[in-house]
Amino acid sequence: MSTFSTALPVTPRAAIPHNPWYKILYIQVLIAIVVGIALGHFYPDIGKAMKPLGDAFVALIKMMIAPIIFCTVVHGISSMGDLRRVGRVGLKTLVYFEVVSTVALVIGLVVGELVQPGAGFNIDPASMDIKAVSTYVTKAQQDGIVAHLLAIIPDSFVGALARGDLLQVLLVSILSGFAIALLGKAGEPITNAIDYAAKMFYGIIRIVVQVAPIGAFGAMAFTIGAYGIGSLSMLAMLVGTFYLTSLLFILLVLGGIARLSGFSILRFIGYIKDELLIVLGTSSSETVLPQLMRKMEHLGASRPVVGLVVPTGYSFNLDGTNIYMTLATLFLAQATNTHITLYQELGILAVAMITSKGASGVTGAGFITLAATLAIIPDIPIGSLAILLGIDKFMSECRALTNLIGNGVACIVISRSEGELDKEALHHTMAHPLTEGEMMERMPG
């Protein structure tokens, strides 16, 4: 099978002027995070007042997610030509996601049993203030499995794009892509128009991403100001266990998959360091979805595969969220002295495989899916969620980081399996990663 390359044209590095260190995006974001932590710690009231800065940046990015996904997925499917290949890629992607996601869920269960992070808490659920989590509980109880599946269908074509629901946008995008492909030559002008529209939307993202340091500063200052670093000490065992488990999952599971696919997970992490730092600051992987798709193309993955795999992964391949769900569920059972049998743990695994789907990278989505899991498993008091409320923002960062890395790895793996990965571009780009400024210089349009 021939290699299909969509990597951006190579420009000699010497031809691109290098920016001073203080103009490099990831350094700006890193400095902003440190300053935000300091402000939130020493001046918590001022830190909490910085919340609109983080919210505004996330909102600016989110307003572009739906049109970019729509254009990318529609263009990818309609330009593939062979619709059987689209189905094959889609099926292969979903199987990969389900296998890796299940591994993440199992790892969360195993670690929870071995480490017992909730043992010794002896918390009486009746003493918990469930008002703080009533919103999550109500939403979880209302959103049953059937309602969750029906919610994938939007009330109108435009409604999906207006609300920005990832699963709904994916549905209308896939249907549109197939419809245009079936038009044959008559659909080519539509495909070209959508391609030009995508370039315009990416141009807006290039402008918005420049204020990422401000958004990261505001979000981090608010998190530390509102919850305080001291809140971590109360549940340090759970936080530490979750972070360590996620790190081992990235290095061992995703690292093993990466090695089998011919690349280094550490070099890949270095390649997406800009995006990882933005996610660390904002606690949301959605804030870098457009940049991740662009970087995957530059890395040598074919555009059609990127358009199908990455957006789908944001709803179906949430490795960090899966680890958190099973680990946190066992933690709450242990903390409230609720005995869980092996059959109940398998039930938790089965339920979590369903409730985790559709929990896109929005901050707090992992907490909502955890509430949905507990709502279906009555043995564990759902009011015990209040225990985790104070540290969820810190857990959300790790969930988002793990989800992002997992989706990037999946994109390369699926593209390679289809014979549509430019291996030369992959190795060259990882060995000589570009700064954000250099990346923009090479972007078409």
- In the 8-state DSSP scheme, what is residue 291? H
**What separation in angstroms does the CA of 323 have from each of 57, 250, 436, 441?**
28, 11, 31, 38
Q: What is the pTM of this model?
A: 0.77
Q: Please report, rounded to a whole number, the percentage of residues in the chain having pLDDT higher than 70.
A: 80
Residue 26 lies in a domain: yes
Output helix, strand, coil percentages for the chain, rounded to the nearest 5. Answer: 80, 0, 20
pLDDT in tens, 197-212: 988 988 888 888 888 8
Half-sphere CA count of 30, side-chain side, radius 13 A? 10
Task: Count other Cβ atoms within 10 Å, centred on residue 382.
Answer: 23
Q: Which residue has the tokens 């959508």?
A: 194
pLDDT(138) > 60: no
Which residues are registered as beta bridge partners of 301? 421
Q: Does 83 reside within a domain? A: yes
pLDDT in the model for residue 390? 66
Per-residue pLDDT for 74 more than 90?
no
Looking at the domain assignment, is residue 9 inside a domain? no
Q: What is the mean pLDDT of residues 114-126?
A: 79
Domain count, the chain: 1
Q: Which residues pair with 421 in a beta bridge?
A: 301
Task: Note whether residue 13 is domain-resident.
Answer: no
Specify the pLDDT at position 444: 44
Whether residue 304 is contained in a domain is answered as yes
Q: What is the mean pLDDT of residues 154-181?
A: 86
In a domain, 1, yes or no: no
- Find how far residue 15's CA is from the centre of its chain: 34
Distance CA 130, CA 387 (A): 10
Query: Cβ–Cβ contacts within 10 Å for residue 358, how many?
Result: 21
- Angle at which helices 342-355 and 319-335 cross, to 10°: 140
pLDDT at 266: 93
255 pLDDT higher than 90: yes
**Segment 168-184, tens digit of pLDDT:** 888 898 899 889 988 88
Domain at 67, CATH number: 1.10.3860.10
Residue 7, in any domain of the structure: no
- Which one is predicted more confidently, 367 or 51? 51
pLDDT for the residue 407: 93
Position 3 in a domain: no
Residue 4 has pLDDT above 60, yes or no: no
What does the block give as tokens for 275? 């995006």
CA angle 209–66–435, rounded 5-degree value: 25
Range of the domain at 336: 19-442
Question: Of 280 and 4, which is predicted with more confidence?
Answer: 280
Give the model confidence (pLDDT) of 377-390 as tens digits.
777 877 777 777 76
Q: How many CA atoms lie within 13 A of 166 on its CB side?
A: 22
